Amino acid sequence: MIRLNMIEIKNEDIENILFSITKKIILPKFKNLKKSEIMRKKNNDLVTVVDINVEKQLKADLLKLLPGSLFVGEELFEENNKIIENYSKNEYCWTVDPIDGTNNFSKGLDNFAIMISLTLKEKILQSWIYIPIEEKMTYAIHKGGSFYNKKKLKSSNRNEINLSVGSISTKYWDSDYDISMKNIKKYFKNISSYGCIGKEYVDIARGIRDFAILSKLSPWDHIPGILILREAGGCDNYFNNEKYNFILNKKNLIIAGNNNLGKNILNLINGDNNEYK
């Protein structure tokens, strides 16, 4: 737990909330969605009734857990994009992705997660990523480490491009980077996506995977995972080598198990690929 002006956010409280939501809202609809319960957003991304109902319940539960706090949710943002201004206020703010991996969930596939973080201004204080089907919880505390089922995590020290496994975003790139991303894939050992960035963050923090190269950076997709990765020893850098900052509306990010691999990937993106030929 972390003490916030004499208020304690206990992992057990978050776990209880997530276990209840999984049992009551998620599992009854898993592999049991009607066509009418799967919709398209304005940007053409999928959303289901489960995404909407999970977020509503999380908002109620989390604001009750920490009275006076603010809330940013993926589905709420769809209705009111001004909620992003909550980050600039000097108040504790929850960020939620109710179902990360909606495409997988809508198809009855296991790779989806619930993602939660608690921030204050530009600081990420705590994060939780829960994989409902596996019943696995990963959490992190600022300057207190990352934990997977209560076991402390340490990301991989692998820094060789040709031995690295990870993912590269396939959309939202500017035209120049779109070409670059296609060209650099051949230098890695394997490029594959889970379709659930939350689970990728967890597996990079666990040392199972090595990196991801990301384009669009919606805060609910990345704030929770960033803290977990940092506390496990991983790194995050925009293409200009600055650290991720969710207050900024920026794109193009490298996340990796360690600083050396992150630097090598950045060099590769910038055209320095002689040593990988």
pLDDT of residue 42: 86
Whole-model pTM?
0.95
Residues 22 and 46 in one domain: yes
Residues 172 and 111 in one domain: no
Residue 208 DSSP class:
S
Which residue stretches of the chain are H helix? 11-21, 49-65, 74-79, 102-106, 175-184, 197-206, 219-231, 259-269
Mean pLDDT of 120-141: 96
pLDDT of residue 151: 96
pLDDT of residue 6: 46
Q: Provide the residue range defining the domain that includes 74.
A: 2-152
Mean pLDDT of 83-112: 97
Residues 127 and 191 in one domain: no
Residue type, 70: L
Residues 34 and 99 in one domain: yes
**pLDDT-based confidence at 1, cuts 50/70/90?**
very low
Q: What SS3 string covers 17-71?
A: HHHHHHHHHHHHHCCCCCHHHEEECCCCCEEEHHHHHHHHHHHHHHHHHCCCCEE
Q: Answer yes or no: is pLDDT of 18 > 70.
A: yes
pLDDT of residue 197: 98
Tokens 């990937």 belong to which residue?
A: 265
- The CATH number assigned to the domain holding 269 equals 3.40.190.80
pLDDT of residue 271: 84
pLDDT of residue 178: 84
Q: For CA atoms 168, 230, 128, 84, give the dihedral sign.
A: negative
CA 56 to CA 46: how far, in whole Å? 17
